Amino acid sequence: MLGTDIRGIMAEEEEVQRRQQALKSLMTMRARQLRESLDARIKRAGNTGDWKLLSKAECADLHKQEKAHLKSQLEKLQTEQDRTRGKLTLLKRAKARAQRIRAAEAASERKRR
């Protein structure tokens, strides 16, 4: 029964690690966008979308709004990453505890024989 629990803990741990990696990647991408200058943003927009129809001042205002939104997203992602890191720590402790219990049970079983 404990073997199944350990496998379950390990599977959950792997899932949390994948989630942590995805969050890290997303945060890196958002941080890069947050550092982007107005000229770089206009250049990235190119001839697509509404940016080509806007004045420089309108683009600057839109860029400012995007940066505020990105900053908000980064704060939420950071909170989620902290929560994920905490969950991963708890899973690692649970796995170690389950392995110690399993080893103690195995040692106890050997003594009985």
- C-alpha–C-alpha distance, residues 78 and 85, integer Å: 10
Domain positions in the chain are 2-112
Residues 40-93: tens digit of each pLDDT: 888 888 767 778 888 889 999 999 999 999 999 999 999 999 999 999 999 999
Q: Is the pLDDT of residue 1 over 80?
A: no
Give the C-alpha distances (Å, rounded to integers) separating 72 from 3, 58, 62, 65: 42, 21, 15, 11
Averaged pLDDT, 2-18 = 82
Averaged pLDDT, 2-30 = 86
% residues pLDDT > 90 (the chain): 57
What pTM was estimated for this model as a whole? 0.70
Give the C-alpha distances (Å, rounded to integers) separating 109 from 3, 15, 104, 106: 15, 33, 8, 5
Averaged pLDDT, 94-113 = 88
